[in-house]
Chain A
Amino acid sequence: MASLMIESLTKRFGSSIAVDGLDLKVREGELVALLGPSGCGKTTTLRMVAGFLPPTSGRVLFDTEDVTRLPAHKRATGMVFQSYALFPHMTAAQNVGFGLEMRGLGGAERQTKVEEALRLVRLSHLGGRLPRELSGGQQQRVALARALVINPKLFLLDEPLSNLDAKLRAEVRVEIRALQQRLGLTTLLVTHDREEALTMADRLVVMEGGRVRQIGSPRELYDAPQDAFVADFVGRCNILSGRRENETGFRTESGLVLPVDTAPNERDNANAFALRPERIAIQPGANGDLNGAVEAVTYLGSQTEYHVRIGREVFVVIQQTPGADEPLAALKPQDQVSLAWDRKAPRLVPQTSL
């Protein structure tokens, strides 16, 4: 395994710029996720790391080796494609063995490694099947085995879970993460699914418009987003425009003053108030500092989501679903409620024009 270093990587397509001066280091054994909306440059970045696309400028290094000009087939990365890209005319075992064959590994040794790799993804019994005879999940595991069996310097995952159904996705997520940690794989994961990124990555890179918005651990990004875009992209968030009123308050554009401890938010250009929905407490009855009316109650199983209007602002509140006999359980639209939160919970961040 190697570390990955990306230095001022830039890719232009004609007059449009897909990746704009990206710097990133992925340490050996680390899983870094590139997260962003489609068109943010995350896939282009991954394709440049794999060698499928030549960068316009900048460098890509595996450890200290500059691979920027190295063709894809000499880079020894193991990639799992969104489509899995299994060779439809080869059996699962032949797919897994392809990379070994290209490395000139013959006969018995190849066989052994293929069997090992298939065992690793629990597909030993299906090696003789063609891809189309396998389920989506099985195909995905063949793709994993195929990428890993060549002992890659770098493990590249391009939206690896997006073609799986929700239940399977959660399982495979855990499985891949466990495998990655057990084998110590230096991994670059591209995804637009924040949940996937948060649960799998050691560090996240939030990208937008070809640039990095923020790099950090999932917790850092979730709790301390640097701007409204990151706040919104890594999780649900109440984001209200306005300005700092004083050390304990933020005035929204509609004039509502919200409690916040501004000390940790010493940013001059902070013009947005960001608060995660689960950090808001809700009480029946209009007897608090911030009173409003319920607009909607959405039952989500273990959690319940409330939309509460205070003046012209609507807050999203997510709470553990109350027991049937608790007072909250009876809340319905038009009911009066009061909201409250820890002053340290909100962040004041720059609003990003999107």
Chain B
Amino acid sequence: MTLAEGMRGKGGASAKAASPGTALLVLPACLLVLGLLIGPMLLMFRISLNQFSPTQLMIEAFSFGNYARAAADPYYQEIILTTLGMALLCTALTLVIAFPAAYWLGRLQSRWKSLVVIATLFPLLVGNVVRSAGWMALFTREGLINTALLKAHLIGEPLTLMYTPKAVVFGIIAVVLPYMILTIASVIESIPRDLEDAAANLGASGFSQFWRVILPLSAPGVAAGSILVFVLCMNTYATAVLLGGPRFKMMAPAIFDQFVRGNNWPMGATLAFMLLAVTMSFTIFGSIAFARRYRAR
């Protein structure tokens, strides 16, 4: 139920019960998810219990040894922490950057609005790799930034911009920003303008209107956007590899390493499930904490 309906809603819950026929409409989606997500995941889980062999790929086994080994390895502990830290940092920064834009977009009343929405989506039309290549052109020692700064005599030596965590943060934010903006904007759109006027009328300054009315009411959008972005960040691959360089480690490239470079499918599957577990537990924990703070509506 959207907020707008909630406002009107005497009978918000009395939505017509779907007829048995309409249930069939979800069938294709369900089959797809079942076949292409749940199935392979079960298979992967099975693989994660196997044992690696350099010559035979893997040996059938049934042991959680891979999990124990990965969890006890300081190397993977650090990667998980890095990944988690990056994801949390990027989500927070993205939220801060996205909110004003989302508010503006949500409140925009113009015949150009659909164009603005398309413009917001535009970065998503460019693949991650292509986009990161563009960033590389910007960040390298002979890149646009260094060339410009050198020409302007602002620096004497090229700055190291590529292959730094900072570059990855920039890169990730650029990728996930549209998701956050559009998710929040759609919720802001459903918050009646009257509420801000009412708050102002009762003496609330711009900041109080935001803090007491807009922010709590856009909480569902903030939550949805943050979860979406957090999950995307946790699974960052191309940006981490291309902008972070060989020394920067996040989970998705580490999983790729095990599967493809090491041919160690059991360990790759194990790491994948560990990533999934961390992502899911943070998402669930975060949602619960969030719902407590802003009461489930």
> Is B9 in the interface zone, CB < 8 Å from A?
yes
> Is A132 in the interface zone, CB < 8 Å from B?
yes
> Is A76 in the interface zone, CB < 8 Å from B?
yes
Kindly specify which of A58-66, A79-87, A288-296, A299-307 makes contact with the partner chain.
A79-87
The listed residue with most B CB atoms (<10 A of its CB), out of A51, A83, A102, is A102
Q: B290 to chain A: closest CB distance in Å?
A: 13
Per-residue 0/1 for A38-67: is the Cβ within 8 Å of any B Cβ (1 yes, 0 no)? Answer: 000000000100111000000000000000
Residues of chain A from 79 to 120 with CB closer than 8 A to chain B in the complex: 79, 81-83, 85-89, 98-99, 102-103
Q: B6 to chain A: closest CB distance in Å?
A: 6
Question: Please, how many angstroms separate the alpha-carbon atoms of A77 and B198 in the complex?
Answer: 10
Q: Do B294 and A79 touch (CB < 8 A)?
A: no
Q: Which residues of B contact A51 (CB under 8 A)?
A: 200
Q: Do B197 and A52 touch (CB < 8 A)?
A: yes
> Is B205 in the interface zone, CB < 8 Å from A?
yes
Query: Given the interface contacts A102-B208, A132-B9, A132-B12, does A87 sit within 8 Å of B198 by beta carbon?
Result: yes
Q: Which residues of B contact A47 (CB under 8 A)?
A: 197
Per-residue 0/1 for B8-34: is the Cβ within 8 Å of any A Cβ (1 yes, 0 no)? Answer: 011010000000000000000000000
Contact of A73 among B9, B10, B200 (CB under 8 A): B200
Q: B253 to chain A: closest CB distance in Å?
A: 42
> Is A136 in the interface zone, CB < 8 Å from B?
yes
Q: Do B200 and A71 touch (CB < 8 A)?
A: yes
Q: Do B7 and A88 touch (CB < 8 A)?
A: yes
Question: Please, how many angstroms separate the alpha-carbon atoms of A311 and B10 in the complex?
Answer: 52
Q: Do B201 and A77 touch (CB < 8 A)?
A: yes
> Is A78 in the interface zone, CB < 8 Å from B?
yes
> Is B195 in the interface zone, CB < 8 Å from A?
yes
Q: B192 to chain A: closest CB distance in Å?
A: 6
Per-residue 0/1 for A239-254: is the Cβ within 8 Å of any B Cβ (1 yes, 0 no)? Answer: 0000000000000000
Question: Please, how many angstroms separate the alpha-carbon atoms of A300 and B10 in the complex?
Answer: 31
Query: Given the interface contacts A88-B217, A132-B6, A136-B10, does A79 sit within 8 Å of B204 by beta carbon?
Result: no
Q: Which residue of A lies closest to B294 (CB)?
A: A89
Q: Do B295 and A89 touch (CB < 8 A)?
A: yes
> Is A150 in the interface zone, CB < 8 Å from B?
yes
Q: Do B3 and A88 touch (CB < 8 A)?
A: yes
Q: B209 to chain A: closest CB distance in Å?
A: 8
> Is A352 in the interface zone, CB < 8 Å from B?
no
Q: Do B199 and A98 touch (CB < 8 A)?
A: yes
Q: Which residues of A contact B194 (CB under 8 A)?
A: 81-83, 85
Query: Given the interface contacts A50-B197, A83-B7, A83-B194, does A98 sit within 8 Å of B202 by beta carbon?
Result: yes
Q: Do A87 and B213 touch (CB < 8 A)?
A: yes
Contact of B192 among A77, A85, A135, A150 (CB under 8 A): A85
Known: A87-B195, A99-B203. 10 other contacts (CB 8 A): A50-B201, A52-B201, A71-B200, A73-B201, A73-B208, A74-B203, A79-B198, A85-B192, A85-B194, A98-B199
List 12 interface pairs A-B (beta carbons < 8 Å), by A numbering: A51-B200, A71-B200, A72-B197, A73-B200, A73-B205, A77-B201, A81-B198, A85-B198, A86-B7, A89-B216, A89-B297, A98-B204
| 9 interchain residue pairs of minimum CB distance | A99-B202, A102-B203, A85-B198, A85-B194, A72-B200, A73-B200, A79-B201, A89-B216, A81-B194
